[in-house]
A and B are shown apart, each in its own frame.
Chain A
């Protein structure tokens, strides 16, 4: 049973560029969330997708956008990259059976460095 998979694992971008990160949820899961983890800090919630719609969003600017596909996989897009966007981006998946308490699984993350 494949867990949450993310790609790419590492990438380097230049300020002002755009980046797309990809995530395939754990088999059977229908909900995908994205988190940003800066070095030495805890992950911060970016947004969550369910049924191809953004279900909730954290305190991140509109430069951060996403998409969920019919097969439940998801993309995170960041436009106009800033140096401060350098971080580990974690994808998390769950099966939305209840409003809360669903077990959430994480991928290994995508390391983004902005230079």
Chain B
């Protein structure tokens, strides 16, 4: 069984600064994928970034990047140059067989 743990219920960051959200996971699979999703107050689940477990290179999407430590089963999200529009709930998720297992989420508040 796969499990995902997000140990930070809430985080806050000043606009334009950098913040890192933590995530650890557990899986017995070898070929799996990891995702970060953003859920703003509108409740729409938006894909932020994905990482393929067999790739050592950390994924990057504009201001968003991950630090993927496979041996430690850690998958943190770094948001650079934080913007007010980044305020949302962020979910870490693992995927195998087209099924997502989500963490409990981290509320991120970006302050002006």
Contact = CB atoms under 8 A, between A and B. Distances in A.
Nearest to B37: A106
A104 B98 contact: yes
A51 B33 CA distance: 23
Q: In the complex, which range does the number of interface residues on chain A fall in?
A: 20 to 34
A48 B96 CA distance: 13
A109 B43 contact: yes
Number of chain B interface residues as a range: 20 to 34
Nearest to B52: A101
Secondary structure of the B side of the interface?
strand
Interface in A56-115: 56, 58, 88, 90, 92, 94, 96, 99-109, 111
A33 interface: yes
* A-B CB proximity, top 8 nearest: A42-B102, A106-B45, A101-B33, A108-B44, A43-B102, A42-B104, A109-B43, A100-B96
17 contacts: A42-B91, A42-B104, A43-B45, A43-B100, A58-B99, A99-B31, A100-B33, A100-B95, A100-B96, A100-B97, A101-B31, A104-B98, A104-B100, A106-B44, A108-B42, A108-B43, A109-B43
